[in-house]
């Protein structure tokens, strides 16, 4: 196919047409100019497009949760529903992600194992579904926060056993290090669940099992422990500071700042019962978060876009685009913001490169215009290409109809 402009994961090609040739699951060639008379892409009936970029990576999501459900009573009741019901919700969330241009989702955990089921489905279905990296259950300290998504590690003697078991099924090991944020007080609740030695032991055990680690973590106490313990990625990381960022840049610890859930609470205080004071606190937290993200980019901390989709008010798919916009509004270049949602996470996680690059995976997003000219172009997805599968959002061939038809053919778990 021929594109007027493109982003290859690192660099923007704004001038002059480029021809991108897809052969099965691989981009077999990228050439200057319009070479459409020489090359065609069998199965991909898209000839001339305005803008091409790699399939997006959602760096932090909870597929089993519908983030668009705002009623907290309905959300609580849902957690008591059947796993089958949750798998259905997760499938719909994967579809929403695909329609937004996402081709790889890192699921950051659920206790029901819905993420593992969806990973198997997405891999075996042959449909244009995003691939799933699944963290399964996380690990947490005794009696700490996170019972809904983590296994308990009571003391250091249990680390090998618990991590060993988790590593068999989980692509990443999630460490629940700190509790949630008390927005009224503007601080993190409780103390970190692990000290540096325990956290290091978890990280080292996970690494020797070939697994990356990420920490659910906000507040300086927790961030300092995670960084010192050699964690691979800090998720959320509210109340960040420069000292931590310098250390993270030095060790190349990634940061997934997940603006979206806090932004929702700021935007929609009535759903959360916040008074104007708390709303003001939320604004200050978000502004300080933005400044830290800008500083992180300047210092060379690997930044990853992840929306925490599934959280209250954070729907799958569109929220990742919100996250790219938060990066952009924080002052990051479009190049850096988009790299954080494409090439950076793939590289950090040891995934194969994808996008309009020779020999990369043919996971591509076609947009109606270039986001380098107009940020809103990110929401105008014309097609999502996953090898031979092409999804055209809003133009039939939705995953729903295909999945329902074929559901019994590949029921996972067997």
| Min CB(252)–Zn ion separation in Å | 22
CA distances for 50 relative to 1, 14, 319, angstroms: 11, 10, 23
CB distance 165 to 152 below 8 Å: no
Find residue 22's DSSP bridge partners: 27
Q: Interacting stretch for Zn ion, rule CB under 5 A, among 26-34, 102-110, 312-320, 331-339?
A: 102-110
Closer of 121 and 308 to Zn ion (Cβ)? 308
| Min CB(62)–Zn ion separation in Å | 6
> Which of 20, 52, 102, 108 is in the footprint of Zn ion by CB under 5 A?
108
| Min CB(376)–Zn ion separation in Å | 27
CA distances for 112 relative to 42, 171, 208, 286, angstroms: 40, 16, 26, 31
| Min CB(354)–Zn ion separation in Å | 24
What residues have CB less than 8 Å from 205, skipping those under 6 apart?
159, 160, 163, 164
Q: Interacting stretch for Zn ion, rule CB under 5 A, among 117-125, 138-146, 301-309, 316-324?
A: 301-309
| Min CB(107)–Zn ion separation in Å | 9
Is 305 among the residues that bind Zn ion (CB under 5 A)? Answer: no
CA distances for 368 relative to 4, 8, 377, angstroms: 11, 17, 7
Q: Interacting stretch for Zn ion, rule CB under 5 A, among 51-59, 101-109, 147-155, 321-329?
A: 101-109
Dist. CA 414–CA 403, nearest whole Å: 18
Q: Interacting stretch for Zn ion, rule CB under 5 A, among 40-48, 147-155, 305-313, 377-385?
A: 305-313
Find residue 32's DSSP bridge partners: 18
| Min CB(233)–Zn ion separation in Å | 12
| Min CB(40)–Zn ion separation in Å | 43
CB distance 18 to 11 below 8 Å: no
| Min CB(347)–Zn ion separation in Å | 22
> Which of 58, 99, 232, 308 is in the footprint of Zn ion by CB under 5 A?
308
Q: Interacting stretch for Zn ion, rule CB under 5 A, among 103-111, 132-140, 346-354, 374-382?
A: 103-111
How many Cβ atoms sit within 10 Å of the Cβ of residue 173?
Answer: 27
In 237-387, which residue ranges form alpha helices assigned H by DSSP?
242-251, 260-267, 269-272, 276-299, 318-329, 334-339, 343-348
Question: Where do the DSSP E strands lie in 316-400?
Answer: 363-367, 381-386, 389-391
Closer of 8 and 110 to Zn ion (Cβ)? 110
Show the tokens assigned to 152: 């308990």
Which bin fits 33, alpha (ψ -120 to 50), beta or left (φ > 0)?
Answer: left
Relative orientation angle of helices 399-406 and 83-99, to the nearest 10 degrees: 140
| Min CB(306)–Zn ion separation in Å | 8
| Min CB(27)–Zn ion separation in Å | 32
Q: Interacting stretch for Zn ion, rule CB under 5 A, among 170-178, 199-207, 307-315, 372-380?
A: 307-315
Total chain residues near Zn ion (CB under 5 A): 2
Closer of 59 and 192 to Zn ion (Cβ)? 59
| Min CB(108)–Zn ion separation in Å | 4
Closer of 308 and 323 to Zn ion (Cβ)? 308
Closer of 65 and 348 to Zn ion (Cβ)? 65
- Of 158, 169, 166, 222, nearest in space to 196 by CA: 222
Q: Interacting stretch for Zn ion, rule CB under 5 A, among 116-124, 284-292, 304-312, 326-334?
A: 304-312
CA–CA–CA angle 224, 240, 238 (5° rounding): 105
How many Cβ atoms sit within 10 Å of the Cβ of residue 303?
Answer: 24
Show the tokens assigned to 394: 């809003």
Helices and strands per DSSP (H, E), number in the chain: 14, 19
CA distances for 339 relative to 56, 287, 318, angstroms: 9, 22, 17
Q: Interacting stretch for Zn ion, rule CB under 5 A, among 70-78, 157-165, 195-203, 306-314?
A: 306-314
How many Cβ atoms sit within 10 Å of the Cβ of residue 408?
Answer: 7
Dist. CA 173–CA 7, nearest whole Å: 31
- Which residues contact Zn ion by CB under 5 A? 108, 308
């Amino acid at each position: 196919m021929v594109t007027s402009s493109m982003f290859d994961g690192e660099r923007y090609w704004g001038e002059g047409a480029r021809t991108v040739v897809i052969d099965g699951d691989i981009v077999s060639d990228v050439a200057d100019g319009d070479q459409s008379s020489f090359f065609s892409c069998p199965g991909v009936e898209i000839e001339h497009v305005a803008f091409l970029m790699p399939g997006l990576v959602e760096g932090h999501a909870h597929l089993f949760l519908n983030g668009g459900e705002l009623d907290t009573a309905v959300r609580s009741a849902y957690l008591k529903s059947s796993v089958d019901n949750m798998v259905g919700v997760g499938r719909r969330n994967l579809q929403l992600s695909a329609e937004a241009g996402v081709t790889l989702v890192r699921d950051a955990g659920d206790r029901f194992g819905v993420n593992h089921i969806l990973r198997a489905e997405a891999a075996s279905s042959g449909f244009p579904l995003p691939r799933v990296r699944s963290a399964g259950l996380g690990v947490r300290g005794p009696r700490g926060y996170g019972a809904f998504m983590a296994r308990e590690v009571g003391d250091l003697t249990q680390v090998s056993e618990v991590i060993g078991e988790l590593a068999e099924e989980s692509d990443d090991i999630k460490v629940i290090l700190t509790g949630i944020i008390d927005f009224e007080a503007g601080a993190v609740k409780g103390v970190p669940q692990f000290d540096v030695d325990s956290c290091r032991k978890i990280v080292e055990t996970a690494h020797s099992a070939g697994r990356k680690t990420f920490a659910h973590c906000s507040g300086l106490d927790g961030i300092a422990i995670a960084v010192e313990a050699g964690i691979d990625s800090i998720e959320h990381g509210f109340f960040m500071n420069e000292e931590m960022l310098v250390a993270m840049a030095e060790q190349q610890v990634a940061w997934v700042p997940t603006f979206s859930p806090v932004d929702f609470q700021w935007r929609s205080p009535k759903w959360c019962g916040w008074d104007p004071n708390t709303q003001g606190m939320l604004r200050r937290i978000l502004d300080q978060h933005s400044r830290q993200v800008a500083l992180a980019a300047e210092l060379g901390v690997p930044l990853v876009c992840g929306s925490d989709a599934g959280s209250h008010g954070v729907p799958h798919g569109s929220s990742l685009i919100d996250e790219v916009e938060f990066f952009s509004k924080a002052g990051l270049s479009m190049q850096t913001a988009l790299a954080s949602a494409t090439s950076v996470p793939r590289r950090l996680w040891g995934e194969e490169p994808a996008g309009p690059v020779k020999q990369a995976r043919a996971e591509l997003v076609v947009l109606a215009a270039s986001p380098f000219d107009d940020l809103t172009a990110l929401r105008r997805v014309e097609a999502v290409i996953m090898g031979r599968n092409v999804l055209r959002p809003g133009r039939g061939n939705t995953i729903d109809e295909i999945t329902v038809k074929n559901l019994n053919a590949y029921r996972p778990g067997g």
